[in-house]
Structure 1
Amino acid sequence: MMPLDERDAPLLTLLRVGRIFAPELLEANEILIADGRIAALGRDLAIPQGWPVRLVEARHLTAVPAFIDQHVHVTGGGGEGGCGTRCPEITAREIAAMGIGTVVGVLGTDGISRSPADLLAKVRGLRAEGISAYMYTGSYRVPPPTLTGDVQRDLAWIPEVIGLGEIAISDHRSSQPRQEEIERLVSEVRVGAMLAGKLGICHFHIGDGKRGLEPLRRLLTETEIPAEQVIPTHVNRHRDLLEAAADYALTFDANVDVTAFDDADEDDLSGFGAVSRLLRRGVPFERITMSSDCNGSLPEFDDRGAYIGMRVAGNTTLIADWQRLVREEVLPLEQALGLISGNVARVLGLDARKGRLAVGHDADVTLLDDDLQPQQTFVAGKRIYVGDP
């Protein structure tokens, strides 16, 4: 398997597929792409004779919106056990092979040997390779490291920056920020994003500490900050936290992000199990997203918080958990797609161009086989991954 080099591809591309889920099933089997966007959807689309069109025949595959992973350690996470435990960077091929067209890069525990500047360089490198990539400024710690010396300036002047994160709370690795510090940071992000014309979200890493989601509950109860400004992730670390996440989502009509943990100890806490539990508790599927945390570390600590070992997270579990939700009929395909495409685009403020197959939207398309396995990935109309024939 290898990506195709399509630098010389013509301006127009016509995809002929078996079915199209936009995410709803369409009465169409062709997608016309022009200059990186979807120009038309239909059947037997007519192209004027002589126009340069690249034809992609894939009638055995199903077209869906390319997946969006909002939590990726693109420069590698880790470092909790010293410099020898830093995780590797992710490659464009590893991203696209899972049907993912868009990623949001994050720093984690290590905001010292890795910086927002490193993250920005990697994001721009992925863009050069065809991936649609964005980033959060900041890291676990408060005050957060930034590119310009100021969170609002990062949002206003750096196009790739769409928010702040991942800020760690309820975790022994966090800076133990006070409530007023959390409120001030979220407020700064909100104003900076407004000035930049972005949604501007704060992406919060939730650890397994006893405070859980309480700092975010207080934020939404005691201030005027809207719930859409905040995304708590890793909410399926343990059962009590997952139950608190369900109550948080229902109380505030808020979004929660489930992590497809590679090392979930119990099926109830896997991405599949967590989404299933949230749905049973009555959380609308529109309020749930899934992310991979890939190339982040999976450190192990003893009862005293001492580091004892680590593994590196991947993104294959995200797709496997998502496939299982469809196969076991927890959600129909059109709703399940929201968990890793449409819902994510809305949460990030990218839904004007991503998360749907619609005229005018970016031509980010994943082609799935009958087993829901990604076989081809297009980003802005360019095919950046193709599986074995």
Structure 2
Amino acid sequence: MGLLLIKNGHVYGPTSLGRKDILIAGRSILSIDTHISEEAVRALDKNAAIIDAEGAWVTPGLMDSHIHFNGAGGEGGPHFRTPPLQLSSFIQAGITTAVAPLGTDGVSRSLRELLAKARSLENEGISTYMYSGAYRLPSVSITENVMTDIVLIDKVIGAKVALSDHRSSHPTVEELRRLISDARVGGMLAGKAGIVEAHMGAEEWGLGIIQEALAGTQIPMSQIVPTHVNRNQKLFDEALKYCEQGGVADMTTSMGSDSDSVKPCDGVRQARLRNIPLSRFTMSTDGNGSMPVFNKAGELVGMGIGEPITLFTALREILLESGVSTEEALALVTSNVADRLKLANKGRLSAGNDADLLIITPSDITLRYVVAKGVIMMREGTIIRKGTFESC
């Protein structure tokens, strides 16, 4: 078990802890203290790695709760299927924990393949989880149903469904309520989040079906997380109201480049203007998902792809331009996500938690180091740990 000592950095856990040293043993944080002696660490492990983070921030690694790491797409035919992601795509973006759903294609893409890719990336160095289900209801699953997937498969922490989207199955309120209930009970039995991640499209239904499905139940609003809520201003206005009422929502960082969508930085500003706690929001990339462009007739007229790097890019923009505190900005992609997914050892820098952390230059928000499960993956901006089939 090797030791890694990070000295002299300003630690954001994401709460500001001030100037601290961090000692890592194996995959876990052993200690965070004002001063940890380099000599004492060397006495325990003569080969211990020492990083001087003087003048830098030390933060939790980023958590991406919606990234298609085994590929997605296919709306334009087989040649529009996106390929699986390689490890370096995550390291470049500072992502140390990734959660994947299936996309539009729940026919030729399978949850079994997704599970195998999750295990592959875990072996290569980052932490991975996945959702059961796909766009449509009834849900696809690995075992007999979504509930048993959550209970019996370690990597499965919730379920996916698409709503208010012309590619969805347009489920009834009763069907959605049953999915939320099954995922919730599965989570309770397994000690997991059991959340339903709801892909939101641009149809006029908006978030109404979610509110109807929860009405009259004792299910907390946080049991279902609508994502892509910054797809357009109308949907984002609904999301703001939904969060004011106690719900939670996820903004997609790969959106924001077209005229209809709301950039996450602007979304943060709008939430602050309405005094909505930013703890109700998270950000994810939709990385490696296809970004189809449809005209008003519903015809495919263009295709893009989600980029994992947008998570760090959006964080940088929020830190530099939004006026929110460093702690609040970091929480959007660290502790808020960990809380939503009930991943107790993730999203925060504290003794006993997994040693997933970043070292960032604060003046221009550039990434210097990435450490995942105690292993240095990026050193001084250079990726030094790549995937099995990547050339180093």
Class of the TM-score when normalised by the shorter of the 2 chains:
over 0.9
Secondary structure in structure 1 of the residue aligned to 2:296: coil
| Cα distance in 1 between the residues matched to 2:338 and 2:172 | 30
Partner of 2:389: none
RMSD over aligned Cα, in angstroms?
1.6
Partner of 1:163: 158
Change in Cα spacing, 1:241 to 1:339, as seen in structure 2 (3 Å) is same
Partner of 1:62: 57
CA contact (8 A) 2:122 2:128 kept: yes
Counterpart of 1:95, as a letter, is F
Q: Does 1:359 align with 2:351?
A: yes
Flag as ranges the 4+ runs of structure 1 deviating above 4 A. Answer: none
Counterpart of 2:105, as a letter, is D
CA contact (8 A) 1:366 1:377 kept: yes
Structure 2 alignment gaps of length 5 or more: 383-392
Q: Does 1:206 align with 2:200?
A: yes
Partner of 2:31: 40
| Cα distance in 2 between the residues matched to 1:267 and 1:151 | 34
| Cα distance in 2 between the residues matched to 1:372 and 1:27 | 18
Partner of 1:311: 304
Q: Does 1:81 align with 2:73?
A: no
CA contact (8 A) 1:17 1:63 kept: no
| Cα distance in 2 between the residues matched to 1:276 and 1:193 | 33
Residue by residue over 1:287-317, the C-alpha shift from the partner in whole angstroms, topping out at 9 and shown as x without a partner, is: 0111110100110112221222211110222
| Cα distance in 1 between the residues matched to 2:367 and 2:250 | 22
Q: Does 1:150 align with 2:145?
A: yes
Q: Does 1:130 align with 2:103?
A: no
Which segment is superposed worse, 98-107 or 49-58? 49-58
Counterpart of 1:78, as a letter, is G
| Cα distance in 2 between the residues matched to 1:254 and 1:306 | 33
| Cα distance in 2 between the residues matched to 1:268 and 1:181 | 29
Residue by residue over 1:242-263, the C-alpha shift from the partner in whole angstroms, topping out at 9 and shown as x without a partner, is: 1111111111x11110111345
Q: Does 1:327 align with 2:337?
A: no
Q: How far did 1:68 drift?
A: 0.3
Partner of 1:338: 331
Q: How far did 1:133 drift?
A: 0.6
| Cα distance in 2 between the residues matched to 1:222 and 1:264 | 39
> How many matched pairs?
377
Q: Does 1:175 align with 2:166?
A: no
14, 18, 21: which is aligned to 1:30?
A: 21
Which segment is superposed worse, 179-188 or 55-64? 55-64
372, 377, 386: which is aligned to 1:384?
A: 377
Partner of 1:6: none
CA contact (8 A) 1:27 1:42 kept: no
- Give the TM-score normalised by structure 1: 0.93
Secondary structure in structure 2 of the residue aligned to 1:72: coil
Secondary structure in structure 1 of the residue aligned to 2:337: helix
Residue by residue over 1:51-102, the C-alpha shift from the partner in whole angstroms, topping out at 9 and shown as x without a partner, is: 1122223324320011101000111111000000011211111111111110
Q: Does 1:277 align with 2:270?
A: yes
Q: Does 1:348 align with 2:319?
A: no
CA contact (8 A) 1:261 1:271 kept: no
Partner of 2:258: 265
CA contact (8 A) 1:34 1:381 kept: yes
Q: How far did 1:175 drift?
A: 0.6
Residue by residue over 1:302-338, the C-alpha shift from the partner in whole angstroms, topping out at 9 and shown as x without a partner, is: 2221222211110222222221111124211111101
| Cα distance in 1 between the residues matched to 2:103 and 2:12 | 35
Q: How far did 1:228 drift?
A: 1.7
| Cα distance in 2 between the residues matched to 1:49 and 1:113 | 53
| Cα distance in 2 between the residues matched to 1:339 and 1:154 | 28
Residue by residue over 1:18-53, the C-alpha shift from the partner in whole angstroms, topping out at 9 and shown as x without a partner, is: 311111222433100113111111233133663112
| Cα distance in 1 between the residues matched to 2:129 and 2:306 | 20
Which segment is superposed worse, 288-297 or 365-374? 365-374
98, 102, 126: which is aligned to 1:103?
A: 98
CA contact (8 A) 1:258 1:275 kept: no
Residue by residue over 1:142-177, the C-alpha shift from the partner in whole angstroms, topping out at 9 and shown as x without a partner, is: 111111121111111111100001x10100000111
